[in-house]
A and B are shown apart, each in its own frame.
Chain A
Amino acid sequence: MPPLSAVPLASVLLLTLGAAAHGASPDAHSSDDGQWTMPSRDYAATRYSPLTDITARNAAGLHPVWSFATGVLAGHEGQPLVVGDTMYVVTPWPNVLYAFDLSKEGYPLRWKYRPDVSPNAIGVSCCDTVNRGASYADGKVVYNLLDGHTVAVDAKTGRELWNTQIADVGSGETVTMAPLVVKDRVIVGASGGEFGIYGWVKALDLKSGALVWTGRNIGPDADMLAKSGEFKPQYDSGADLGVSSWNKDGWRTGGAPVWGWMSYDPDLDLVYYGTGNAGPYNAEQRPGDNKWTASVLARRPQDGTLVWAYQFTPHDNWDFDATGAMVLADLTVAGKPVKALVHFDKNGFAYTLERATGKLLVAEPFVKVNWATSVDLKSGRPVLDPDKQTGASRGTVKGICPCLEGAVSPASPPAYSPRTHLFYTSTNNLCMDYTAVPATYLKGTPFMGINSPYMAGPGGHLGTFMAWDAATGKKVWENKEAFPNWSGALVTAGDVAFYGTLDGWFKSVDARTGKVLSKFKVGSGVVGNPMTYRAPDGKQYVAVYAGIGGDWLLLAGDFRSDDPSDVRAPADFVKDLARHTSQGGMIWIFGL
């Protein structure tokens, strides 16, 4: 039995649908069909491809074979999809969907879809107007628009099939995450942890787009779809934890956005996702654990029933969103086989949990961490350093590691190879000072109260790309990078891992050693996620977006060249970044 029993079934299903969409016949003889039909490639969110054309021996010959300017300058997070002989690309706002015909020379467009997306959403986006991609299912490309709509587009014709409003820009909600389609449910969530939203996930009907259920991430059990006898958090008990772990009414504007990645275990029938920070950033306005912010939640896709939850950062007072990917892998921990969930948190710990129950097995720091000394495996709680707790009455708290950009950005998902049994992830080596001030809730405006300059962590380098053993909680190798590393990871059965850097290099490395096998300057910093596919010509290719942005729009505004009325000094901690990159959304494809 393969390590991830879910994958082949899902692949077969999608192969059939993909072939139906375009009459293509992806290679049915290989162990994989060469497609990439959902954001993280499989339900387990591994970003692992069984394709083997590209290997550690020949990757030095990788070179660009095609590129396309998207015409959009904002941060290009997310990844393309490949279904049959078509590549689908979603841009940042205004969220254009491109469909490229991979069967023709030069990959001309079959069509492009330009939805009417309100520019008002731009001002309600905390961190650039990014989009993290689409999902393909049942002949439809489904994705989210920044202004709070989910759309389904006919994969063959580009015609809009349905368009459902899911979020309210007026109350600070925008949508940047990539939906996950599970059976006939499209599962979506909203950004807005900086705007005091009342965070949620929703499920839409795949056929009609109709809203099926809404589950809040904070608040009363009834709103959270937490039912007595069914909701069993491993380390907590009692009713209405999403209310009792807050001051009065704090949960109503408490955040817990959903802007990262979702995964699904078909055997357990559980969808997993992480929730973002608690709001406001001045945590003294919301005493308590603030459940279930900065947590992982497990729900039934059919009706949203909450089954378990685990809070990585109780009483988040550092903006430690837990929206990073929850990767499902079958590991051997302390000699025992475990159906595990692995998560690299902004807070600097990498967690390995039992994914049926939420029981914590391993929690070890993967960068310098000093807000907590460790995580107690018995209680599931971090052991805090009292000197690194923040709040308006504490003034400026200096030298907290990691910084609020996270030990890794949740926008930069890891990959897992069942061949090496290793996880691959970008990291940031940054610390911060944190000055919290009281914040006023004004609907639709930022609800924050924070000033937080960053500085380099130990060693002076600002980021890495590393390999991690989640069974033991140990780093296996790391490549130091000059700048914080903001791309997602990809790993293949050819034992090659791929990532991009903020200064615009796209690299392939040996998955077992980290040795760089090839690199190419893609024109703009990489904040997207590499993916790989088999094209109609039978060959394996690797695609990635260039296009610096996301948080970097806020942090290093001097890399911009598009606005003559907004000039800024370079950020102290990345003085050189604009020397190496400017904006520019591009799709790159590499081949041998």
Chain B
Amino acid sequence: MSVRHLTSTACSLTTAALIVCTGLSACDHRMTSQTAEPVAPPPAVADASHVAAGGLVPAGGTLTNPHQGDKAVAASGAQMFTAMNCDGCHGPGASGAVGPNLGDGRWRYGGSDAEVFQSIYYGRPKGMPAFGGALGANGVWVLVTYLRSLPPPPNIPTESWE
């Protein structure tokens, strides 16, 4: 599970940082009393993909959607999208209103099942509320299943009037 994975990565980073920090004063002390010994190397990063650019959270990895591809669940997710007032911001059919279009195949915070789960469960900056408390993990997965069932239109970056 990616949540566990992330947590353990964060922990090991934190632990390593702590060792380095506390180690510095210890090193200082040791270096005065002993001959110079190399300072501990910076913590190793096991997988470069765990460091995400641009302040995004790391990729969701192995967090899996229990309802992936289930059309009946997607249909109930469509109802939930209205019932939980998602459409109030994201528009009917998730086509965008004051909140972004969620059916255009483009994602501000990533479009994998796990990333969409994170966005709904924990919320996002600038206005996306955290619905995890209201919906529970399974409710969020139902919504994810609906949103991921929307067939993204072909990605045509051009809008032309001629």
Contact surface of A with B, Cβ cutoff 8 Å = 119-128, 194, 437, 439-440, 442, 444-449, 451, 553-554, 557-558, 563-568, 570, 576, 578-579
Q: Which residues, 60 to 87 on B, are CB-close (under 8 Å) to A?
A: 82-85, 87
Are the C-beta atoms of B88 and A447 separated by less than 8 Å?
Answer: yes
Please provide the 8 A-B residue pairs with the shortest distance between their CB atoms, ordered closest to farther: A123-B127, A446-B88, A566-B100, A565-B108, A122-B127, A445-B85, A565-B106, A554-B97
Are the C-beta atoms of B96 and A123 separated by less than 8 Å?
Answer: no
| A222 to B128 Cα, complex, angstroms | 36
Of chain A, the residue at the smallest CB distance from B99 is A123
| A447 to B87 Cα, complex, angstroms | 10
Selected contact of B129 from candidates A123, A554, A558, A563, CB within 8 Å? A123
Does B29 make an interface contact (CB < 8 A)?
A: no
Q: Nearest Cβ in chain A — how far from B26, in angstroms?
A: 40
Contacts between the two chains (Cβ within 8 Å), count: 78
| A493 to B55 Cα, complex, angstroms | 55
Of chain A, the residue at the smallest CB distance from B93 is A451
Does B95 make an interface contact (CB < 8 A)?
A: yes
| A579 to B160 Cα, complex, angstroms | 8
Q: Nearest Cβ in chain B — how far from A465, in angstroms?
A: 25
Q: Label chain B's interface by main secondary structure.
A: loop
Are the C-beta atoms of B89 and A578 separated by less than 8 Å?
Answer: no
Contact surface of B with A, Cβ cutoff 8 Å = 82-85, 87-89, 91-92, 95-101, 104, 106-108, 125-129, 134, 157, 159, 161
Are the C-beta atoms of B88 and A567 separated by less than 8 Å?
Answer: no
Are the C-beta atoms of A125 and B98 separated by less than 8 Å?
Answer: yes
Contacts of B161 in A (CB 8 A): 576, 579
Q: Nearest Cβ in chain A — how far from B99, in angstroms?
A: 7
Are the C-beta atoms of B125 and A442 separated by less than 8 Å?
Answer: no
Contacts of B84 in A (CB 8 A): 440, 442, 445
Sample 5 A-B pairs with CB under 8 A, ordered by A number: A440-B84, A447-B88, A564-B106, A565-B108, A566-B101
Contacts of B126 in A (CB 8 A): 119, 122-123
Most buried by B among A451, A563, A564, A568: A568
Q: Nearest Cβ in chain B — how far from A74, in angstroms?
A: 11
Are the C-beta atoms of B95 and A554 separated by less than 8 Å?
Answer: no
Most buried by A among B108, B127, B161: B127
Q: Nearest Cβ in chain A — how far from B105, in angstroms?
A: 9
Are the C-beta atoms of A439 and B85 separated by less than 8 Å?
Answer: yes
Are the C-beta atoms of B127 and A124 separated by less than 8 Å?
Answer: yes
Are the C-beta atoms of A567 and B98 separated by less than 8 Å?
Answer: no
Of chain B, the residue at the smallest CB distance from A439 is B85
Are the C-beta atoms of B89 and A123 separated by less than 8 Å?
Answer: yes
Are the C-beta atoms of A440 and B98 separated by less than 8 Å?
Answer: no
A194-B88, A557-B96, A566-B108 are contacts. A445–B129 as well, Cβ < 8 Å? yes
| A448 to B81 Cα, complex, angstroms | 13
Of chain B, the residue at the smallest CB distance from A578 is B159
| A439 to B92 Cα, complex, angstroms | 13
Are the C-beta atoms of A442 and B89 separated by less than 8 Å?
Answer: no
A440-B83, A566-B108, A579-B161 are contacts. A553–B129 as well, Cβ < 8 Å? no
Contacts of A194 in B (CB 8 A): 88
Contacts of A447 in B (CB 8 A): 85, 88
| A578 to B99 Cα, complex, angstroms | 18
Of chain A, the residue at the smallest CB distance from B90 is A446
A447-B88, A567-B104, A570-B159 are contacts. A554–B127 as well, Cβ < 8 Å? no
| A542 to B2 Cα, complex, angstroms | 58
Contacts of A578 in B (CB 8 A): 159
Most buried by B among A128, A557, A567: A567
Of chain A, the residue at the smallest CB distance from B92 is A451
Q: Nearest Cβ in chain A — how far from B103, in angstroms?
A: 10
Contacts of A449 in B (CB 8 A): 82
Contacts of B134 in A (CB 8 A): 442
Q: Nearest Cβ in chain B — how far from A177, in angstroms?
A: 18
Q: Given contacts A440-B85, A445-B85, could you give 4 more A-B pairs where the C-beta distance is less than 8 Å?
A: A128-B98, A563-B100, A567-B101, A579-B161
Are the C-beta atoms of B101 and A127 separated by less than 8 Å?
Answer: no
Q: Nearest Cβ in chain B — how far from A254, in angstroms?
A: 16
Q: Nearest Cβ in chain B — how far from A145, in angstroms?
A: 15
Of chain A, the residue at the smallest CB distance from B107 is A565
Are the C-beta atoms of A119 and B127 separated by less than 8 Å?
Answer: yes
| A451 to B97 Cα, complex, angstroms | 11
Q: Nearest Cβ in chain B — how far from A563, in angstroms?
A: 7
Selected contact of A446 from candidates B85, B106, B107, CB within 8 Å? B85
Contacts of A570 in B (CB 8 A): 159
Are the C-beta atoms of B106 and A445 separated by less than 8 Å?
Answer: no
Contacts of B88 in A (CB 8 A): 194, 445-448
